[in-house]
Amino acid sequence: MQKIIINFLFSIVFLLQVNAQKEAILNTISVFPYQQVKEADAALQSMDAWKKSEWKTFVSILNDTALQSKASNALSAYVNKSTKADPVSINKIASLLAATITKENSYYANELLIKYLGLLGSDAAVKSISNFLSDETLASNAARALATIHSETAIAALNKALAKASETNRKHIQAALNNSQQILPSINSIKLIKLNIPNKAQHLLVLQNQMAAAKNPLEKKEILSEAANIPGLGSFMFVSQSLQDPILAPTAAIITTRLALADAAIYGQEVRSILEKSLVLLNGEDSVFLSKALRAHLKAMPYDNGFVSLFNGIDLNGWKALVGNPISRSKMSADELQKAEQVANEKTKNDWIVKDGLLIFTGHGDNLATTKQYSDFEMYVDWKITKKGDAGIYLRGTPQVQIWDTSRRDVGAQVGSGGLYNNQKNQSKPLVVADNKIGEWNTFHIIMQGEKVTVYLNDVLVTDHIILENYWDSKLPIFSKEQIELQAHGTYVAYRNIYLREIPTTTISTLTPQEKSEGFTTLFDGSNMNQWVGNTAGYLNESGAIVVHPELSGGNLYTKDEYADFEYRFEFQLTPGANNGIGIRAPLTGDAAYVGMEIQVLDSEADMYKKLQPYQYHGSVYGVIPAKRGFLKPIGDWNQESIIVKGTKIKVILNGETIVDGDIKDAAANGAMDHNEHPGLKRTTGHIGFLGHGDVVRFRNIRIKNL
């Protein structure tokens, strides 16, 4: 009897230990699919320390249909990380995983384990995988995995199994052997350079040259994989070109997604379009968490002041021939300037051409100018010249960031390109020579803010925050806004990859003279958030707007002061499916929609909201008075709204259209439309607030007038 009790107690202890171990493993893999890299790295490090018992418990989770999703994602991430380890570590990991494959496992678990053991490529897994070459359901998986390992031991195992395999399994094994005997296309022809490249700009230039020379998809995929390790806009745009290739598109989609997720500075209209295309193309093991992360990233991505392409690689759309200079053009009427541009465009029609995706100056004619004018901006552009070449880039219509052949010592070109050549008082020469050889591509990164210019040539700083002088009138400062020009100087020059981002010159919004005379005051002008309290951790001042960051913190943001009767004016920018609200006459605690009132802020036209009640759409007094629909601007555009509250009457004006004009007393006389209690309808004063609902929304230019 005593022995039975002891055995029973041991069983209880054992079960408790197993359950504790399972709980610990579930906690470890709970971060998958993941968005936070630090949390994922910590989980993967914990998995590195697992012994046989932990892996056995992990596979039991993989066998559980209710839990296998997280386990599958964790296994995918772990194997992906492990393939980059040293051979000894890979063999150890493969041994641990191979020991977990048993006939008792579910088909799902063994299928995954066999596939990932194949990807690890270790002979330590060959024996365990070979046991399934006679299995009618898993033989094909096992054969493919052994072919993937592709070692002598793995191929020998396939040949051994082939002799005694069933007719069905023999086909699978033979197909795997045939595949393993194929000679993959060589990539030696393009000689991928992975070492001794001084910086990311030069690395990317090399990869672009290699892509032009690549002869097959395997070579091109190898190049894309290299580009994945180069952060920044240039590599993002380079990889995105392969989204047009059906064979390369899945690889390009994954890389563009990862590059964008890793760098918040990669944004803009063209970037958004690329990422939306990538989202549709994502597939494979990482697609679950990548898709989720990319959707969140797209929603949070700013719509304003992002990168745009100045050259489409097809035609001269966005460019025009040069007329005069900024001073002479300023003296012309609009009609005079238009006529002069028409004449110039006709005269220089063949001076600048588009060939093979390049913007080329043929060597005769005048400058090419952007049709749009720019103030402060950040610009990337690749350029290439021939022997004795001489060119430049005019900033705000003014010469110039210099481009020339450094061998032309007779004109001082030995100092290198990238300097502000025409400066007389301020520094004109570049700090160092960073030019590539004549005939090779170079890349500029130009930043102009105010009157100062910074230039990186091939990722090397050559001009550091130097004032650009006004060449056309030295007594005047540089023009505040003008066109960008590509200089024509009598020699061949080619350009490509021209991307520009406008930098806001000011973030301060001011009251109009009429608003001042009417008694409006500013609640937020873009400079600070001193008049707001509440969740200041989740509402941040960015580029002159209050931006809701739901991932940082939830909750509401309120005015410090309370208001009774007022007119509240503001601008807002929605993101797809966004939901927020304007709390009025609200206390600082409780659900403002009920203990105060909420004027709904919503992407009403999103498909996800098509079945809402009328009192839930944008502009409605939530649950009480419905608003008219159809007056929101497209996503990404800024909307203007006024909320006028006087006694029990509320009016909401959206983009000049009155969408609500009602009396809350009358509307709730027989109970609110949503059949809920709204004690806040009786309040006569309170705070105004932004009521977060987990979405990114932007607000700016916020003014108020007490009535």
* Beta strand 398-404 pairing with 698-706: unpaired
What pTM was computed for the model?
0.69
215 and 238 both lie in a single domain:
yes
564 pLDDT more than 50: yes
372 and 425 both lie in a single domain:
yes
pLDDT 10s digits, 156-187: 888 888 888 888 888 888 888 877 665 433 33
Residue 181 has a pLDDT of 65
SS3 130: helix
Compute the CA torsion angle 229, 234, 237, 238 (nearest 10 deg): -70
Final residue belonging to a domain, choices 149, 181, 213: 181
Give the pLDDT band of residue 506 (cuts 50, 70, 90).
low
Residue 476 has a pLDDT of 92
272 and 382 both lie in a single domain:
no
Q: Which residue has the higher pLDDT, 570 or 143?
A: 570
Which of 601, 660, 647, 597 lies closest to 623, judged by CA?
A: 597
Compute the CA torsion angle 71, 74, 76, 79 (nearest 10 deg): -120
Mean pLDDT on 504-513: 81
DSSP string, 143-180: HHHHHHH--HHHHHHHHHHHHH--HHHHHHHHHHHHHH
Residue 428 has a pLDDT of 94
Compute the CA torsion angle 691, 692, 695, 701 (nearest 10 deg): 50
Asked if the structure places residue 671 within a domain, the reply is yes
584 pLDDT more than 90: yes
pLDDT 10s digits, 342-387: 998 888 888 999 999 999 998 888 999 999 999 999 999 999 999 9
Asked if the structure places residue 350 within a domain, the reply is yes
Strands in 687-691's sheet, in edge-to-edge order, are 532-534, 556-559, 687-691, 579-586, 597-602
**% residues pLDDT > 90 (the chain):** 53
9 pLDDT more than 70: no
298 and 347 both lie in a single domain:
no
In DSSP terms, 377 is beta-bridged to: 448, 502
417 pLDDT more than 90: yes
578 and 684 both lie in a single domain:
yes
Asked if the structure places residue 507 within a domain, the reply is no
Asked if the structure places residue 465 within a domain, the reply is yes
501 pLDDT more than 90: yes
Which of 80, 177, 155 lies closest to 120, judged by CA?
A: 80
CB 300 within 8 A of CB 266: no
Residue 233 has a pLDDT of 95
Q: Which residue has the higher pLDDT, 238 or 137?
A: 238
* Beta strand 545-548 pairing with 539-542: antiparallel
Indicate the residue type of 31. Answer: V
Which residues, in sequence order, are CB contacts of 309 under 8 Å at separation 6+?
A: 270, 498, 499
Mean pLDDT over all residues of the chain? Answer: 87
Range in 44-48, 262-266, 525-529 the model is least confident about: 44-48
Q: Which residue has the higher pLDDT, 69 or 450?
A: 450
Give the pLDDT band of residue 394 (cuts 50, 70, 90).
very high
146 and 47 both lie in a single domain:
yes
Give the pLDDT band of residue 599 (cuts 50, 70, 90).
very high
Q: What is the number of structural domains in the chain?
A: 4
Which residues, in sequence order, are CB contacts of 186 under 8 Å at separation 6+?
A: none
Range in 423-432, 507-516, 546-555, 579-588 the model is least confident about: 546-555
Final residue belonging to a domain, choices 502, 536, 560: 502
Mean pLDDT on 240-251: 92
Q: Which residue has the higher pLDDT, 186 or 340?
A: 340
Residue 228 has a pLDDT of 92
290 and 168 both lie in a single domain:
no
**% residues pLDDT > 70 (the chain):** 93
Residue 180 has a pLDDT of 67
Nearest-5° Cα angle at 548, 527 to 554: 125
647 pLDDT more than 70: yes
Give the pLDDT band of residue 35 (cuts 50, 70, 90).
low
Range in 315-329, 387-401, 547-561 the model is least confident about: 547-561
Percent composition of the chain: helix, strand, coil (DSSP 3-state, to 5)? 40, 25, 40
Range of the domain at 254: 195-303
Q: Which residue has the higher pLDDT, 87 or 221?
A: 221
Residue 196 has a pLDDT of 55
Residue 187 has a pLDDT of 35
690 and 569 both lie in a single domain:
yes
Which residues, in sequence order, are CB contacts of 478 under 8 Å at separation 6+?
A: 395, 396, 398, 451, 467, 468, 469, 470
Give the pLDDT band of residue 104 (cuts 50, 70, 90).
confident
594 pLDDT more than 60: yes
172 and 232 both lie in a single domain:
no
Record the tokens describing residue 503, joined without a space: 């930098």
473 pLDDT more than 60: yes
pLDDT 10s digits, 433-448: 999 999 999 999 999 9
337 and 261 both lie in a single domain:
no
Asked if the structure places residue 133 within a domain, the reply is yes
Residue 184 has a pLDDT of 38
Final residue belonging to a domain, choices 151, 181, 211: 181
Neighbours of 292 (CB within 10 A): 13
What is d(CA 534, CA 181) in angstroms, rounded to the nearest whole number? 67
pLDDT 10s digits, 522-556: 999 988 899 999 888 889 998 889 999 887 766 79
Class of residue 166 by CB neighbours under 10 A (exposed 0-12, middle 13-18, buried 19+): exposed
CB 550 within 8 A of CB 692: yes
192 pLDDT more than 50: no
377 and 261 both lie in a single domain:
no
pLDDT 10s digits, 686-697: 999 999 888 899
Asked if the structure places residue 490 within a domain, the reply is yes
Mean pLDDT on 120-129: 86
Going from the C-alpha of 307 to that of each of 237, 360, 393, the distances in angstroms are 11, 22, 18
597 pLDDT more than 50: yes
Asked if the structure places residue 422 within a domain, the reply is yes
Tokens 């010592």 appear where? 409
267 and 352 both lie in a single domain:
no
SS3 681: helix
Which of 488, 252, 239, 477 lies closest to 375, judged by CA?
A: 477
Q: What is the CATH number of the domain that holds 75?
A: 1.25.10
Give the pLDDT band of residue 87 (cuts 50, 70, 90).
confident
Q: What is the CATH number of the domain that holds 598?
A: 2.60.120.560
Give the pLDDT band of residue 299 (cuts 50, 70, 90).
confident
Record the tokens describing residue 634, joined without a space: 């497209």
Asked if the structure places residue 314 within a domain, the reply is no
Strands in 398-404's sheet, in edge-to-edge order, are 319-321, 368-374, 482-486, 390-395, 398-404
239 pLDDT more than 80: yes
